[in-house]
Structure 1
Amino acid sequence: MFSVLENQGLSLPLSAIKTLAETNYEDWYESLTINLTIINLDLALRVEALAALIEKSFAEEKTYYERWGHSNRTYLMIMKYTIDKSIRQSITCTDSVKDFLAAVGDKFTKFDKAEKGTFMKLLTTTTYDGVSGVREHIMKLTRFFNKLRQMKVELAYSFLVWQVLESLPSLFDALKTTYNAQRD
């Protein structure tokens, strides 16, 4: 399609925008909006469409209308290009950036539920394998915990601590006892 986007003297390789796949909606959305804002193509996302032009419209209204239309068309093309084909085919086509982006967001609300379940299962069933370091194991569980909190799953930090201790083998029972004996 095109490898470099250019607008007002700014250029951006299309590869700078991540491709939307099954599990990276937030990353894709952030990459898309940041990159298209940098090259000033986000007008259609920020501003509602103007009413249709009439014969007596001023030159600046016509120019603005054309800029908005260009922004809308380009943004839609880039969004569709950076969405995996299997996902793109399941989204209703619209002529508006805002409507298309909302349709994509709605599609990923469904994926969030499954992803929450996956991260909750990983957090509660992952045990220390003895191969990697304990620190790496704790960091892995903390990543699962933080991902769940980002998805608005309310978990207390005390649950994370408890889960980390429970995931360690009996070799660490002295540590568990010491921790549990502490008041705070």
Structure 2
Amino acid sequence: MDQVPVPVSLHSLATSVPVFNGLNFPDWSEQVQFHLGVLDLDLALQVEKPAATTDISSTEEKAHYKAWERSNRLSLMFMRMSIASNIKSAIPKTENAKEFMKLVEERSQTADKSLAGTLMSTLTTMKFDGSRTMHEHVIEMTNIAARLKSLGMKVDETFLVQFIL
């Protein structure tokens, strides 16, 4: 059960995962976990690192430790291959896949706060200028409000109406 198979091409599978750009952690994380799960490489994300084996460790313990180490190493490679270079260099080095995922999530939350501020600024300063239809203006404002909601900032409908007009 702890046997970790060798994927035919880890790189080709990593290219089907969206590149983490600092703003898409939920989608990126979901895709990474799905692909690693399908490949049976998610052991390192599911369980903590087992104790190092010794001469008196059972065959099962040795096999589990070896499977975890392989899963951890390949999971780290897989995640690193799907992160934008400018972000990859800003993430602290770690040799634990579970810890690496947490570090990427923390990096994402910092970017989310910055994005929320930018979106709020855009929402509060955007005015209808007649260069496009009123419908397009309303849709754009509604989309900004929806993006803010996805970042955990609910924009009240009456508040939004006041900014649209």
Q: Which TM class, normalised by the smaller chain length?
A: 0.7 to 0.9
Deviation at 1:54, TM superposition (A): 1.7
1:160: which partner in 2? 160
Deviation at 1:140, TM superposition (A): 1.8
Quick check: 1:36–1:42 contact (8 Å CA) kept in 2?
A: yes
TM-score normalised by the chain length of structure 1: 0.75
- Tell me whether 1:104 sits opposite 2:100 in the alignment: no
Quick check: 1:12–1:39 contact (8 Å CA) kept in 2?
A: no
Superposed, 1:114-133 pairs within 5 Å as 114-130=114-130, 132-133=132-133
Assess, with a 3 A threshold, how the Cα gap between structure 1 residues 132 and 13 changes in structure 2: closer, same or farther: farther
Whole-Å separation in 2 of the counterparts to 1:52 and 1:65: 7
Quick check: 1:50–1:65 contact (8 Å CA) kept in 2?
A: yes
Instruction: State the one-letter code of the partner of 1:110.
Output: T
Quick check: 1:45–1:97 contact (8 Å CA) kept in 2?
A: yes
Whole-Å separation in 1 of the counterparts to 2:140 and 2:27: 20
Q: Indicate the percent of aligned positions where both proteins have the same amino acid.
A: 31
Quick check: 2:116–2:148 contact (8 Å CA) kept in 1?
A: yes
Q: Which runs of 5+ in 2 are unaligned?
A: none
Instruction: State the one-letter code of the partner of 1:62.
Output: K
1:38: which partner in 2? 38
Higher relative contact order (CA 8 A, sep 6+): 2
Count of matched residue positions in the alignment of Structure 1 and Structure 2: 160
Deviation at 1:129, TM superposition (A): 4.9
Whole-Å separation in 1 of the counterparts to 2:58 and 2:12: 32
Assess, with a 3 A threshold, how the Cα gap between structure 1 residues 40 and 130 changes in structure 2: closer, same or farther: farther
| Structure possessing the higher radius of gyration over alpha carbons | 1
More deviation in 88-97 or 14-23? 14-23
Superposed, 1:11-26 pairs within 5 Å as 13-26=13-26
Higher normalized strand content (fraction of residues): 1
1:172: which partner in 2? none
1:77: which partner in 2? 77
Superposed, 1:132-147 pairs within 5 Å as 132-147=132-147
TM-score normalised by the chain length of structure 2: 0.82
Whole-Å separation in 2 of the counterparts to 1:117 and 1:106: 17
Listed one character per residue, the Cα deviations across residues 84-119 of structure 1 (whole Å, up to 9, x for unaligned) are 222111221111112212222222222222101111
Deviation at 1:135, TM superposition (A): 3.4
